[in-house]
A and B are shown apart, each in its own frame.
Chain A
Amino acid sequence: MTSTAESQSPALSSTTKDTKDLPPLYHQTSQYRHWRFSYAQLLNIREASNAGAVERVKSNYEQEMAESQDTSYSKDEVKFLTVEDELALCVFYETRLQHMCNLVKLPDTVMYTAVMYMKRFFLHNTVMDYHPKDVLYTCLFLATKAENERLSIDEFCQKLRVRSSDSVLNLEFTVSQGLKFEYCIYHPFRAAYGFFLDLQTVMTEMKPLKTLYNKVQALIAKLVLTDVPFIYQPSQIALACFMVADGDPDIQKAINSYIDLRFMDQKSMLISIKEDIDSTLKNYKPVSQEDAKTIDRSLRFCANPANNPESSM
């Protein structure tokens, strides 16, 4: 007993003394460890899950046709969704989700979390297995709980005009599984708030800073529809938004001096992140309703019959 105590005490004292050698707290989070990707990695995962889903749907179709003796369409005629189609459909429903949150006046954090849940879920799952129009409500319901804005399921359904609570609750476990049960999302919103406070050390005038902060919040809500949250970390996104939001030379100068003051070491990295996010924002095109409709129509033919209650399987 005494020997263990002795052997432990120097180790303990060293940990309390120099915490600088330890990894930062953020490195312990599930977001850092499991939900951080590069663009190529994202594409790989999406292609793999898309290919897997196509395989599954094909084999299920053959089985179903064999069972139902229906020869009205052959498997060659079915046009499967591409990765881009899937992504576009997801983004369309994510936009819908944002509108919904605005309508029922849920806070931005809930909206961000819900959208991130959808993104995470459809990274390893495909729209051919689960239609985003169903998953959307479950994601939002989970997000209200995760972000401390709890609504009872009845209230939720009433507010959002969902016909039956079962459709929301039935998918709850499936969605949670898709999230690997990691519900904690770190938002750029609080980091943006931190920058808003910290920028006051270089920007003395409050009015332009406040308008800048409002623009940044709108930009963050827009960026969540892209892949940026998978690539960069919340505070990087927030800072990039501050850099991009306003082209006014005075503000640009102030932010530059702020970065020189605080993040001299990471400046080149932060600027490259800003450039990438800037180009992402410039290239971002909202998915039109017509596009979504055409994708949805082809999805009707290639949805996995295993998840369709009306199929003969």
Chain B
Amino acid sequence: MIAQQRNGTRSNGFGRSQPNVSSIRGSSATVISYQEEDAQCPVCKSDKYLTPNLKLLVSPCFHKMCESCIDRLFSAGPAPCPICLQTLRKNQFMSQIFEDLNVEKEVRIRKKVSRIFNKRPEDFPSLRAYNDYLEEVEDITFNLINEVDVAETEAKMAQYEKENKDIIAANEARTENEQKTSSYQEELEKKEKEQRLEDYRRQLEDERQMREKEKNELIRELATSNKPAHAVLATRQTSTLKKSSALKQQRDANAAAQRNNLLPAWLKTTMPSDVDMREAELENFDPLGLEYQDTIDVSAMNSYHDPTTEPLINNKQTRAGGYFPRFAYQRALFDVYSSISVEPLRDDVVMTEG
């Protein structure tokens, strides 16, 4: 798609189209914040050598400061940034994730923009319209990153946000829902895997115990009964085989039932509606719901005097494929009865038609 290609060309490789934003958001919890080896706070000039637990945070205007400086400057409330004089609050500072501050900036701006411009392909009548929309969003992002017409762009964004409040809220809810579903599914899969492993272990244990028990019984039987040894062994062997195959069947049935039970009701209901529809269609499909009558009253006999099917009857090899002369007979009889009762068209009917 054009949408994906174009994103890569202008951004620094961190540009993601909207559907992928959630994955950034989701994974950010696991990313450890980036700290330089020989970091130095640009405000108080203290460095890692003297204060080993120095931690630099990034302001919304993308300037680094150490935690003690932030405490000192912003504890009393909003204050200007010591570097660019923009008004900042303490809770706006965030830990740095990427080494390059430009990347950090771009990622944050993209996040911010994507929170507002969160329309999806299905909100548009055509792919073309969606691509135009993406182009526009990319322009806005580009302007913000490279600080071109920032005021104008931000006004544009605010206006868009006001106009599309409902859609934005709806899409946000949808994304959240999807995330919830996918995370739940992941968890479910994990659980199931564990369960299976557990089952397998238990199975092995059961089998071992059973084998041991059988062995003991066999020895006891050999010792007590007065049948010949090979007869005892033979009967034993068949019964063991039967038992183990029955056990296996039961196990498979159990596993299938469990898998079906694991899916909760709400997971099914939150699925997109088209999946529902497809499923309903599949459920309601009836292969026997014919639009025509495909049976005749007469059924073929099993044998006729017929030179053409003689090789089929006499030769075992030709019957190996499962084709019996009866099929040919039935088909021929069907041709006899299917069209015999069709009335020929009469001329007076025709004159009115043509």
Per-position 1/0 for A255-283, Cβ under 8 A of B: 00000001101100110010000000000
Question: With A19-B290, A198-B333 known to touch, is A41 a contact of B340 (CB < 8 Å)?
Answer: no
Closest to A37 in B: B345
* Contact of A235 with B340 in the complex, beta carbons under 8 Å: yes
The chain A residue sitting closest to B329, CB to CB, is A197
Q: Which residues of B contact A40 (CB under 8 A)?
A: 347, 350-351
Distance A237 CA – B262 CA, assembled complex (angstroms): 63
Of A79-87, A137-145, A185-193, the one with at least 4 CB within 8 A of chain B = A185-193
Interface stretch (choices A70-78, A113-121, A226-234, A284-292): A226-234
State which residues 18-45 of A face B: CB under 8 Å: 19-20, 22-28, 32, 36-41, 44
Task: Give the distance in Å from the alpha carbon of A234 to the alpha carbon of B332 in the complex.
Answer: 12
Q: Which of A19, A25, A39, A194 has most chain B Cβ within 10 Å?
A: A194
Q: Are A26 and B332 in contact (CB under 8 A)?
A: no
Q: Is the CB of B347 within 8 A of A24?
A: no
Pick from B286, B335, B345: contact of A41, CB below 8 A. Answer: B345
Question: Considering the chains assembled together, what is the distance between the CA atoms of A26 and B346 in angstroms?
Answer: 19
State whether A195 touches B292 (Cβ < 8 A). no
Determine if B332 and A193 form an interchain contact, defined as CB atoms under 8 angstroms apart. Answer: yes
Which of B280, B290, B338, B350 makes the CB contact (< 8 A) with A26?
Answer: B338
Given A40-B350, A40-B351, A190-B332, answer yes or no on A22-B340 (Cβ-Cβ < 8 Å): no
Which listed segment binds A: B170-178, B215-223, B297-305?
A: B297-305
Given A12-B289, A38-B349, A38-B350, A191 and B335 touching (CB < 8 A)?
A: yes
In the assembled complex, the Cα of A262 lies from the Cα of B345 at a distance in Å of 23
**What 1/0 flags go to B78-109 for Cβ under 8 Å of A?**
00000000000000000000000000000000
List of A residues within 8 angstroms of B339 by Cβ: 24, 26, 32, 186, 191, 233-236
Stretch from A1-9, A96-104, A159-167 at the B interface: A1-9
A200 CB contacts on chain B under 8 angstroms: 304-305
* Residues of chain A with a CB closer than 8 A to B305's CB: 200, 206
Asked if B38 lies at the interface with its beta carbon under 8 angstroms from chain A, I say no
In the bound complex, how far is the Cα of B342 from the Cα of A236, in angstroms? 9
Q: Could you list 15 A-B pairs, sorted by A, with CB under 8 Å?
A: A15-B290, A19-B290, A24-B293, A24-B339, A25-B338, A26-B338, A26-B339, A26-B342, A40-B350, A190-B331, A197-B329, A210-B307, A233-B340, A263-B341, A265-B341
The 10 closest A-B pairs by CB, nearest first: A194-B332, A194-B336, A233-B339, A38-B345, A40-B347, A26-B338, A41-B350, A191-B335, A193-B332, A190-B335
